Amino acid sequence: MKTLFVRAIKKLEFDNAKLKELVEILPKEIHITYSVQYYNLAKHVKDEVEKAGIKVHKFLQIIGCRALKAEELPILHIGSGKFHATNPNLFMISKNITLFDGYSINKVGTKYIEEAEKKRKAKLSRFYSANSVGLLVSNKPGQHDIKKAINFANSNNSPDRKLYLFLCNNINPKEFENFSIDFWVNTACPRIEEDSSEIISLDRITRMKESQQ
């Protein structure tokens, strides 16, 4: 049986005065991300900011499980609410994130980002000092990345640290207490790391190492 996926996209609606205001305050180089429902608005905004001489490096639909590969630049997110705009992977690219839903302009607060980064730095410290690490791998389509987990395990092999691979459909942090594991590294949806102080996303570790080189 063939499965069809139909995108639910909102009708193009926006406040033209607010859009002009947005264009005036944006820096000269940005990435644009968007929630799928806001594709029409995002495409229109992209056209308008490019007409104003602003260079758009990346134009990407953002979902909770997508890691973004992009250079560090300010981000304009088109959509409602902060769920997609506060994707942990966005913070690895930029601390300057503007939200536009067609009618209002908002910023992801610096305080929110600083607190999130502080928590993740504490997690990194715990990871580096852990004697046993569990690598979480989801078998769900779109999240499954066992190759990444195995490569990470091989590159972090040490006689002083034990690495265990956990393959599962649903990752429930409440089950962690059933295992003698000091810390957990997640290769699935990055949102999972927000559910526990004992989890960090593998992409977070990789990005940190790259920034130190």
Per-residue model confidence as pLDDT tens digits over 110-157:
676 777 778 878 888 898 899 999 998 888 776 667 888 888 888 877
Phi and psi, residue 209, nearest 5°: -65, -40
- Verify that 80 and 130 share a domain, yes or no: no
Domain boundary among 108, 142, 172: 108
| Whether residue 5 has pLDDT greater than 70 | no
Helices (runs of H) and strands (runs of E) counted in the chain: 6, 9
| Whether residue 67 has pLDDT greater than 70 | no
The CA angle 47-22-45, to the nearest 5 degrees, is 20
- Verify that 136 and 201 share a domain, yes or no: yes
Q: Which domain holds residue 145?
A: 122-212
- Verify that 65 and 131 share a domain, yes or no: no
What is the domain-level CATH number for residue 68?
3.40.50.11850
pLDDT the model gives residue 62: 79
| Whether residue 55 has pLDDT greater than 90 | yes
| Whether residue 3 has pLDDT greater than 60 | no
3-state secondary structure at position 7: coil
146 in a structural domain: yes
Split at pLDDT 50, 70, 90, the class of 72 is confident
- Verify that 132 and 59 share a domain, yes or no: no
11 in a structural domain: no
The structure tokens listed for 27 are 């820096």
- Verify that 104 and 126 share a domain, yes or no: no
Question: How many domains are there within the chain?
Answer: 2
> Region 162-182: what's the mean pLDDT?
87
pLDDT the model gives residue 65: 58
* Burial grade of 5 (CB within 10 A; 0-12, 13-18, 19 or more): exposed
What region, left, alpha or beta, does residue 26 occupy, with left being phi > 0 and alpha being psi -120 to 50 degrees? beta
2 in a structural domain: no
- Verify that 98 and 134 share a domain, yes or no: no
- Give the pTM: 0.64
Domain boundary among 79, 108, 137: 108
Split at pLDDT 50, 70, 90, the class of 48 is very high
What is the domain-level CATH number for residue 191?
3.40.50.11860
Which residue is it, tokens 């007409």?
51
- Verify that 85 and 135 share a domain, yes or no: no
